[in-house]
Structure 1
């Protein structure tokens, strides 16, 4: 039984089914997402959008797609609600060491690529679209292990960027459920995590202090402060964008690499992109590029 009329009304509302989203409404949401985030939402993902909006609308008791659109598009609380919605639409389930081939390539690059990447003044890595932080912390593990393998004590730092403020807050907290660690061997679990409870693990302080996080919209990369990066890791992000925008994003990232720097992408995320600054690394299992040491190469 409800404690008040308001709670009873809210409970009844949560059980109501939402109307189907018509084509006109879908196009309005498509345009808003494209304009603000660059995200491309094809008609095939209409059900995904409708479901995601519907869940949030039930949570706050919003009766229609039009009313919710107005809520995120204008008004005093628009940006707060927009932040919540973007988090729902963009944050994906991820894990540590998710793409073993790609991370192994990074480690091999650090240890063997001339000029020796580990002997540089500092190693700077950037995880673009870092979500809740698993990727940048994995990069920190890889760099630390590469330094240890070569018996070096160089400085390194990793920056994780994302558009989702809630995701970045989780990344900064650096506390993860056990399921996020399933792709790590026991040695890495013991070395890089402290167990808090039976199901929660915290990144150890020495690794956590090497990683920082910042909110960056990839539509605004020209204003991002990251420059001279040794490694840029950008996986499972480009799939959200139209082909021309993917190329635009990648060209911006190529400019941010130090000469000799490494750009790692997700397999199949781009197939017809070429940049005169970069040379593709021959590999059947990864999609990665090296920036030329000289412009005329």
Structure 2
């Protein structure tokens, strides 16, 4: 029997209330992520599996290991990948991409494309969102003289998620919401049933590691479009507003910010105006 099978037979190590609080505090301090009581089983299971892989007994011993100097930093990165990779798919919230295409098409009609559009996917996970954004931009520019005049940056805290994004290889179920025409245009079917992003589209997308608590240090500025969806729900309300304020600063005049519906309530920014769309929570920055 493989080691994974052995682990599956062992019960998850029970975590005391004090131990749970210690791990909650570490995650929030380092990433801003809040693991509430409803996600306690998720945290307990992932810690237990990793501890068994390493042969570590007890949550306290493992805590010391992930907080001990350079070797701890390596283990922390490994653990973080287990705790932050979210299940996603292409065009996850279709109305957001419909809005994106309308916005880009209107901009193209309103003003000449003097410089390539800059788009940013915050919390890009394994790449489905930034590639979806790239497809939307490519579709808008497809019949123009500006084909390829855009770039998409995807950022995430998880190194393993970023590795998958850069590989650009996806199971068929990830593309279920995509039109057949788009799938055939922007993906290459593989012998194993998976799909790979075509090189011309992949060249428009780059992915980099970024902790959203460190947005002040991020090199991105003057972005035409920023997507921040399915990320803020893991943070406290005051932190959500702080993150959005930072993102607003990175928008170019007239730029578009798209946020997950229901992820923030009552947030306002003096430079941003809400977009009139009942299906999408989005804002545009005031023009100069």
Distance 1:81 1:101 in 2: 39
Distance of 2:68 and 2:40 partners within structure 1: 23
Q: 1:181 matched to which residue of 2? A: 175
Query: Counterpart of 2:81?
Result: 87
8 Å CA contact 1:121–1:154 kept in 2: the answer is no
Kindly indicate whether residue 21 of structure 2 is the aligned counterpart of residue 27 of structure 1. yes
CA RMSD in angstroms comes to 2.0
Superposition deviation, residue 48 in structure 1: 1.6
Per the alignment, residue 51 of structure 1 pairs with 45
Determine if the alignment matches structure 1 residue 70 to structure 2 residue 64.
yes
The answer to whether the aligner puts 1:106 opposite 2:100 as a matched pair is yes
Name the larger-Rg structure. Answer: 1
User: In the alignment, what sits opposite 2:225?
Assistant: 231
**Distance (whole Å) between structure 1 residues aligned to residue 202 and residue 115 of structure 2:** 21
> Residue 274 of structure 1: SS of its match in structure 2?
coil
Q: TM-score, normalised by structure 2?
A: 0.94
Aligned partner of 1:245 in structure 2 is: 239
5+ residue gaps, structure 2, are: none
1:98-247 paired onto structure 2 within 5 Å: 98-113=92-107, 116=110, 119-149=113-143, 152-153=146-147, 155-247=149-241
Q: Report the 3-state secondary structure (helix = DSSP H, G, I; strand = E; otherwise coil) of the residue aligned with 1:77.
A: helix
State how far apart, in whole Å, the 2-side matches of 1:11 and 1:175 are. Answer: 28
Q: In 2 relative to 1, CA 117–215 (structure 1 residues): closer, same or farther, beyond 3 Å?
A: farther
**In structure 2, distance between residues paired with 1:192 and 1:118:** 26
Query: What does the per-residue CA deviation read over 1:32-53, in whole Å, with 9 as the maximum and x for residues that have no partner?
Result: 0011101111223212211121
> Does the Cα contact within 8 Å between 2:212 and 2:243 map onto a contact in 1?
yes
Q: Contact 1:107/1:146 (CA < 8 Å) preserved in 2?
A: yes
Aligned 8 A contact 1:119 1:154 in 2 = no
Cα deviation digits, residues 91-150 of structure 1 (max 9, x gap): 111111111100010000001148736724120000000000010011110001011255
- Preserved CA contact (<8 Å) 2:13 2:48: no
Q: Distance in 2 between matches of 1:207 and 1:228?
A: 22
Aligned positions, number:
288
Instruction: Say which SS state the counterpart of residue 273 (structure 2) adopts.
Output: strand
Q: CA deviation at 1:85?
A: 1.3
Structure-2 separation of matches of 1:81 and 1:170: 20
Deviations 1:234-275 (A, max 9, x none): 100001100000000000000000000000010000012110
- In structure 1, which of residues 266, 271, 278 is the aligned counterpart of residue 260 of structure 2? 266
